[in-house]
Amino acid sequence: MYTRICNLLLALTVTLATAAPLHADPVNLPDIGDPSGSTITPQQERQLGESLVRRMRQEHLVVDDPLLADYIDSLGYKLAANADPQPNPFTFFIVKSPEINAFAAPGGFIAVNYGLILTTQSESELAAVMAHEIAHVTQHHMARTYQAAGRYKWATAIALLAAVLVGGHNSQLGEAAIAAGIAGNAQLSINFTRGNEKEADAVGIRLLENSGFDPDAMADFFGRMQRATRLYGNQLPEFLSTHPVTGSRIADARSRAAQMPHHKVKENPNYFLAKARLRVLMASDPARAQSQFADELASGSYQDADAEHYGYALALTANGKFAQAREQLAPLIKKHPDRIFYLAAQAQLDLASGKTAAALRLFNKALLIYPNNHPLTVYYAEGLLTAGQPEKARSLLEAYVRERQPDAEVYRLYARAAGDAGHLADAYQNMAEYYFLNGQTHAAIDQLEQARKLPHLDYYQAAQIEARVRELKAVARQESN
């Protein structure tokens, strides 16, 4: 479904434009300043992006693994910290698609397909693609086009994006809806995209260097993608369709990088561990994944030995071969006893093999080292619920949400823990947030309606529920327009 989103998002914005295309220099475009001067405000951009992500989650197309989410966040925030300030915070996530692609959505949302992550050969290459997408946001590429969207309503953008999403399961429906809007504007879209792509390359390379990554990585990745074209024939990877790679573009990227100071880049071990974890979690056949890791270890055909043993341990665990998995993990933990990827793998192995008490002790110890760590908190809460300790799980999650913004999985676990512990209002409220983040707005409202029927609600909680019902009903009306 998402193999066409990057193109269609840009085509959508061009479709909405009623004025002539912008002809400013594609690299030295004038600063448009506060994007509030456009017909779409930063708040509306964020709402549009949130709506898009909720629809993606509704279709189960977002990778929800806490460790992987934390990894892509940490990489994204490292880049964003050196980018131009934006009115909306950046949000990074991984899409369940083997296609090689990434895209920037309105409101600062940056999506990376897992297929692209597995295709990169260094963290700098992955950072290069993400820096390119961040540059689309910081340079206001979407805002510039929306600025020309004089007579179209906000609801039109929502409807067209929804058509793209529905088109994943009914491609004719999605493509017909888009085609109706972009007819006659194909060349305009191409011209606009080329300028954006060139500017995003230039800004992205500078962002790479400022963030401590290899500025040559963008040209390196583009070069490998160009060389791969002869293997694909007419069936190009979506990255090459949405980000056309030419010899001049690669040369331009290489030239820009050459003008920047170079320093030795130490590879982040979590990059290789994240790739190994993705290979196991996204594998359609765990037994095949196990065999692949075993073959690669036997032949020495891998980039990082520790990550290869880690991936093999995960695959063995997934196949119920717990003793062998322990043999793979033990040397890794001895070598790096505080590495979160290994601690989580060990504790989850203990849970899977019935050693619940050992798993809980390990999670508790790890959280003393890393208080409020997202993946460790989620996994520990799951372990506590498995062990029949919902009140302890609820207390753990309550402390977490006081300090950090919860995601859908935290809301789900909090709802379950609160319900099992007899805190029904908390259970309904948290389940409502879980449903909302997963694109089920009406189901979220139903949960809150159930909550406000409960007896003995205190004034504060009742008022909180009422206010949230009004907010979600407003969102539901917008989504249905």
By annotation, the residues acting in catalysis are 133, 201
Q: What is residue 288's three-state secondary structure? A: helix
- For helices 269-281 and 66-80, the axis angle rounded to 10 degrees is 140
Of 4, 14, 10, 8, the closest CA to residue 184 belongs to 14
Contact between residue 174 and residue 165 where contact means Cβ atoms under 8 Å apart: yes
Contact between residue 63 and residue 114 where contact means Cβ atoms under 8 Å apart: yes
> What are the residues facing 112 on neighbouring strands?
94, 102
φ, ψ for residue 214, nearest 5 deg: -75, 115
What residues contact 212, with CB distance under 8 A and at least 6 apart?
78, 263, 265
What is the spatial distance between Cα 464 and Cα 429, in angstroms, rounded to a whole number?
10
Rg over alpha carbons for the chain, rounded to the nearest Å, is 24
Of 325, 354, 322, the closest CA to residue 342 belongs to 325
Q: What is residue 246's three-state secondary structure? A: coil
- For helices 340-352 and 269-281, the axis angle rounded to 10 degrees is 30
469, two tokens: 């019902």
Tokens 């510039």, residue? 144
Of 330, 11, 380, the closest CA to residue 196 belongs to 11
206, two tokens: 């500078």
Q: Where are the alpha helices (DSSP H) in 353-458?
A: 356-369, 374-386, 390-403, 408-420, 424-437, 441-452
Q: CA-CA distances (angstroms) from residue 99 to 52, 78, 237?
A: 19, 25, 7
Q: Where are the alpha helices (DSSP H) in 21-91?
A: 42-58, 66-80
Q: What's the CA angle centered on 59, arms 315 and 66, to 5 degrees?
A: 45
